[in-house]
Amino acid sequence: MININICIICSHEWASRKPNPKRCANCKSPCWNKGKLRKEKKCFKPKYDIRDLNVNDEKLFPWPQNEKGNLNGRESANMNRSICQYGKRHGKHFHRYGTHAGLKVRRVS
């Protein structure tokens, strides 16, 4: 199998039989592909922070608005989804109620 390698230092592109060759064929740098690995890992911090919510606690998240002051539907759906996903990931259960002021989140377990 032929692998195509691209050096992040000199942008040289070359083919090799082995995956992940030790050095770039052009500039001979051993770090030719290391940049990707060093990419910072995104630290998981929920945008809609419900981490400190205790059972039976409630928190209200105002509906997201766009620049015009209208409801941002896409972001609202996002908010709903991320809260739901957070619950699933951490084995917590949240009830979500839509109110005129925003999305009310109540932790039930």
Q: Distance between CA 94 and CA 91 in Å, rounded?
A: 10
Q: By CB under 5 A, tell whether 24 contacts Zn ion.
A: yes
Q: Distance between CA 93 and CA 82 in Å, rounded?
A: 13
- Out of 6, 27, 71, 101, name the contact with Zn ion by CB under 5 A: 27
11: nearest Cα among 25, 1, 83: 25
Comparison of 32 and 86: residue with beta carbon closer to Zn ion: 32
Which residue type occupies 39? K
Segment contacting Zn ion by CB under 5 A, of 11-19, 50-58, 64-72, 80-88: 11-19
# of chain residues touching Zn ion (CB under 5 A): 8
Q: By CB under 5 A, tell whether 10 contacts Zn ion.
A: yes
